């Protein structure tokens, strides 16, 4: 393979539009690129549109005599759903609450079948981070648990399921993003632990997923001073982490991909070109370009670096071979019919996960199951939905808890409140809700939005009957300790809300177990 082609294979491009722009198709014809990443806000509207888009991209590659492109997306389930119209699985922490590796494998297989039908052949999942820090702003319910053994077991099962369906799995975010208090979209995170702790907690699940055959590992923009001796060098620039630890100690033989290179944790625009070359030299095989990264500039920068001797020929050859080996495997996979996307079997599987995840944290007053007279006034209160981080698709969703409750109690009102109501708003809401016979209040990350917890506590103090449900992080149940009845769903997806209503009214049990112990 020519040096120019070896460099092209390392690029994952981005673009804007529901159809492939002519300039992008021409770039694909001229350069055997690694592939593209599709983003919900930029590229993904409906399943038929996605399949047409991926088909056009692959047709351009075929016409140029190239191997299939890597077409990638973040279809984690739960908090990050890249594809509209796909089955809304409740997500990793819901699976963690079930503790069932077989269920995780089935979900992985279903995710893979749907992505394969859409023409997406690389999933940036599963998240293998251990959610050990309740203040973590970006991982949360994207993790399976705070138990590294459980994370490794469930993540490995999901890898097996995805890849059995012909979609390459990506274990992320290496070497572990679970114990950070910053979002690397905004600045560099630091994991301050020594090597012994890292091996026991952060690295253990990655070792398990590598053993399970994960074909990609995503390197995070995290500084790990125990591994590099520096607090200002991200993993994506650290050969001691990517080559010595990941490939050497852990024995990973697949493709190393960077996290998105538009994230502030990677570096500022002033140093971006230099860091792009450093990342390639450090052992990143696939460079994940994202808005506003310029693909032409990235290609020219890497080519100039290779011509100047800053990228060794052996580095270029090895990276290109790993990428093309992945493409050759993908070329052997079959594409399912589009009818599998959102099919009845997958909807039933999502409902099973949701029902088995529902967790009853406490019911000190024996309020459940609910037995309300038909004339009782009930209100469902939920916060307005917004993306909690750039790795979130909440803003595309509608919280249908009111509709789920109304199936059992027709006289149900709904109220959407601010995500973090002020003290004045809490006082006004408390007065407005005081006359209801029951308030079902759903919270979303109340640990960082104290107004939600304040409202729950105020209602309880007024003597209003309250049922509180943590709709995402189970830590919420700790910040409104006065609430006598609390449950966890781990998801705002419709299957989770339906399962919650079934549990509240005694049609189903709450078999889930808390997957993070600091919320107990």
DSSP string for 114-159: HHHHHT--EE---B------TT-SS-GGGSS-S-HHHHHHHHHHHH
- In this structure, the answer to whether residues 306 and 419 fall within a common structural domain is no
- In this structure, the answer to whether residues 332 and 362 fall within a common structural domain is no
Residue 449 banded pLDDT, cuts 50, 70, 90: very high
pLDDT at 236 over 80: yes
Q: What pLDDT was estimated at residue 452?
A: 98
Residue 213 makes CB contacts below 8 A (sequence gap 6+) with 159, 160, 163
Q: How far apart are CA 76 and CA 309, in angstroms?
A: 39
Q: What pLDDT was estimated at residue 275?
A: 96
Q: How far apart are CA 118 and CA 50, in angstroms?
A: 6
What would the mean pLDDT of 256-281 be, rounded to a whole number? Answer: 95
Q: What pLDDT was estimated at residue 260?
A: 96
pLDDT at 434 over 90: yes
Structurally, the chain folds into a number of domains equal to 2
Q: What CATH number did the domain enclosing 413 receive?
A: 3.40.50.1700
Q: How far apart are CA 476 and CA 140, in angstroms?
A: 12
Q: How far apart are CA 261 and CA 412, in angstroms?
A: 47
Q: How far apart are CA 449 and CA 271, in angstroms?
A: 35
Last residue of a domain, one of 339, 373, 402: 339
Inside any domain, residue 24: no
SS3 510: coil
What's the whole-number average pLDDT of the chain?
Answer: 96
71 — phi, psi (to 5°)?
Answer: -115, 115
- In this structure, the answer to whether residues 101 and 241 fall within a common structural domain is yes
Q: How far apart are CA 369 and CA 408, in angstroms?
A: 12
Inside any domain, residue 23: no
Q: How far apart are CA 466 and CA 53, in angstroms?
A: 48
What would the mean pLDDT of 422-444 be, rounded to a whole number? Answer: 97
DSSP assignment of 239-282? HIIIIIIIIIIS---SEEEESPTTSTTT--GGGHHHHHHHHHHH
Residue 5 banded pLDDT, cuts 50, 70, 90: very high
pLDDT digits (tens, 9 = 90+) for 140-190: 999 999 999 999 999 999 999 999 999 999 999 999 999 998 889 999 999
**Could you tell me if residue 85 is left (phi over 0), alpha (psi between -120 and 50 degrees) or otherwise beta?**
left
Q: What pLDDT was estimated at residue 461?
A: 97
Q: Which two tokens stand for residue 48?
A: 């038929």
Inside any domain, residue 9: no
Give the pTM.
0.96
Inside any domain, residue 482: yes
- In this structure, the answer to whether residues 183 and 293 fall within a common structural domain is yes
Q: What CATH number did the domain enclosing 193 receive?
A: 3.20.20.300
- In this structure, the answer to whether residues 257 and 383 fall within a common structural domain is no
pLDDT at 83 over 70: yes
Instruction: Using alpha carbons only, give the angle 395, 139, 513 rounded to the nearest 5 degrees.
Output: 100
The rounded percent of the chain whose pLDDT value lies above 90 is 94
Q: What pLDDT was estimated at residue 1?
A: 87
What's CA 16's distance to the chain center, in Å?
Answer: 21
Q: How far apart are CA 170 and CA 123, in angstroms?
A: 6
pLDDT digits (tens, 9 = 90+) for 121-150: 999 999 999 999 999 999 999 999 999 999
**Could you tell me if residue 33 is left (phi over 0), alpha (psi between -120 and 50 degrees) or otherwise beta?**
beta
User: Parallel, antiparallel, or unpaired for β 287-288 and 222-223?
Assistant: unpaired
pLDDT at 518 over 90: no
Q: What pLDDT was estimated at residue 467?
A: 98
Q: Is 259 a catalytic residue?
A: yes
Inside any domain, residue 4: no
Q: Which of 173, 174, 102, 176 is nearest to 132 (CA)?
A: 176
Inside any domain, residue 374: yes
What would the mean pLDDT of 506-513 be, rounded to a whole number? Answer: 97
- In this structure, the answer to whether residues 366 and 331 fall within a common structural domain is no
- In this structure, the answer to whether residues 198 and 269 fall within a common structural domain is yes
- Only one residue has tokens 């189970």, namely 474
User: Parallel, antiparallel, or unpaired for β 35-37 and 11-13?
Assistant: parallel
What would the mean pLDDT of 98-125 be, rounded to a whole number? Answer: 98
SS3 388: coil
**Could you tell me if residue 73 is left (phi over 0), alpha (psi between -120 and 50 degrees) or otherwise beta?**
beta
pLDDT at 388 over 90: no
Residue 235 makes CB contacts below 8 A (sequence gap 6+) with 174, 175, 219, 220, 221, 222, 223, 224, 227, 241, 242
Residue 391 banded pLDDT, cuts 50, 70, 90: confident
Q: What pLDDT was estimated at residue 390?
A: 86
Residue 259 banded pLDDT, cuts 50, 70, 90: very high
pLDDT digits (tens, 9 = 90+) for 368-384: 999 999 999 999 999 99
Q: Which of 142, 151, 84, 76 is nearest to 111 (CA)?
A: 76
pLDDT at 519 over 80: no
Last residue of a domain, one of 286, 310, 339: 339
What's CA 357's distance to the chain center, in Å?
Answer: 18
What would the mean pLDDT of 250-276 be, rounded to a whole number? Answer: 95
Query: Could you tell me the maximum CA-CA distance found in the chain, to the nearest angstrom?
Result: 79
Q: How far apart are CA 228 and CA 197, in angstroms?
A: 15
- In this structure, the answer to whether residues 366 and 322 fall within a common structural domain is no
- In this structure, the answer to whether residues 478 and 447 fall within a common structural domain is yes
What would the mean pLDDT of 432-457 be, rounded to a whole number? Answer: 97
Inside any domain, residue 59: yes
pLDDT at 399 over 70: yes
Catalytic residue among 129, 147, 259, 476: 259
| 8-state DSSP, 233 | -
pLDDT at 70 over 90: yes
Last residue of a domain, one of 271, 306, 339: 339
pLDDT at 469 over 90: yes
- In this structure, the answer to whether residues 159 and 64 fall within a common structural domain is yes
Residue 63 banded pLDDT, cuts 50, 70, 90: very high
| 8-state DSSP, 471 | S
- In this structure, the answer to whether residues 152 and 266 fall within a common structural domain is yes
- In this structure, the answer to whether residues 245 and 329 fall within a common structural domain is yes
Q: What pLDDT was estimated at residue 389?
A: 86
Domain interval for residue 464: 358-519
The end-to-end CA distance of the chain, in Å, is: 56
SS3 342: coil
Inside any domain, residue 437: yes
| 8-state DSSP, 17 | S
Q: What pLDDT was estimated at residue 147?
A: 97
> Crossing angle of helices 272-282/295-307, nearest 10°?
60
């Amino acid at each position: 393979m020519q040096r120019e082609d070896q460099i092209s294979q390392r690029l994952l491009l981005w673009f804007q539009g529901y159809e492939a722009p002519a300039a992008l198709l021409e770039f694909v014809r001229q350069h055997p690129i690694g592939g593209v990443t599709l983003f919900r806000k930029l590229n993904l509207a409906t399943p038929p549109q996605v399949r047409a888009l991926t088909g056009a991209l692959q047709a351009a590659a075929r016409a140029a005599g190239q191997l299939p492109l890597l077409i990638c997306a973040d279809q984690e389930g739960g908090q990050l759903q890249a594809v509209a119209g796909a089955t809304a699985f409740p997500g990793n922490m819901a699976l963690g609450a079930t503790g069932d590796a077989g269920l995780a494998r089935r979900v992985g297989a279903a995710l893979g079948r749907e992505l394969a039908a859409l023409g997406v052949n690389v999933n940036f999942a599963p998240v293998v981070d251990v959610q050990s820090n309740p203040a973590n702003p970006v991982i949360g319910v994207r993790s399976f648990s705070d138990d590294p053994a459980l994370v490794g077991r469930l993540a490995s099962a999901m890898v097996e399921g995805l890849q059995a369906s012909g979609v390459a799995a990506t274990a992320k975010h290496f070497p572990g993003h679970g114990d950070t208090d910053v979002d690397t979209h905004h600045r560099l995170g630091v994991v301050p632990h020594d090597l012994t702790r890292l091996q026991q907690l952060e690295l253990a699940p990655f070792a398990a997923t590598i053993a399970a055959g994960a074909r990609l590992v995503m390197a995070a923009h995290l500084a790990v001073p125990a591994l590099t001796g520096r607090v200002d060098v991200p993993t994506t620039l650290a050969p001691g982490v990517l080559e010595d630890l990941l490939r050497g100690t852990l024995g990973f033989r697949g493709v190393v991909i960077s996290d998105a290179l538009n994230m502030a944790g990677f570096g500022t625009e002033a140093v971006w070109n230099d860091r792009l070359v450093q990342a390639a030299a450090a052992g990143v095989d696939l460079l994940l370009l994202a808005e506003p990264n310029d693909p032409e500039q990235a290609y020219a920068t890497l080519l100039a670096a290779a011509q100047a001797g800053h990228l060794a020929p052996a580095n270029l050859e090895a990276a290109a071979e790993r990428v093309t080996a992945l493409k050759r495997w993908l070329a052997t996979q079959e594409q399912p019919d589009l009818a599998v996307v959102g099919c009845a079997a997958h909807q039933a599987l999502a409902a099973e996960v949701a029902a088995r995840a529902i967790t009853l944290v406490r019911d000190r007053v024996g309020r459940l199951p609910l037995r309300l007279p038909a004339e009782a006034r009930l209100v469902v209160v939920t916060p307005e939905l917004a993306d909690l981080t750039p790795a979130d698709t909440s803003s595309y969703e509608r919280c249908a808890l009111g509709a789920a409750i109304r199936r059992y109690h027709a006289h149900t009102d709904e109220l959407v409140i601010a995500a973090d109501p002020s003290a004045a708003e809490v006082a006004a809401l408390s007065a407005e809700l005081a006359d209801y016979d029951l308030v079902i209040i759903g919270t979303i990350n109340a640990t960082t939005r104290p107004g939600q917890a304040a409202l729950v506590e105020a209602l309880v103090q007024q003597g209003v009957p309250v049922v509180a449900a943590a709709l995402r992080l189970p830590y919420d149940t700790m910040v409104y300790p006065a609430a006598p009845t609390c449950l966890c769903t781990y998801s705002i997806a419709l299957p989770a809300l339906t399962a919650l209503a079934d549990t509240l009214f005694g049609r189903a049990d709450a078999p889930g177990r808390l997957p993070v112990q600091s919320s107990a």
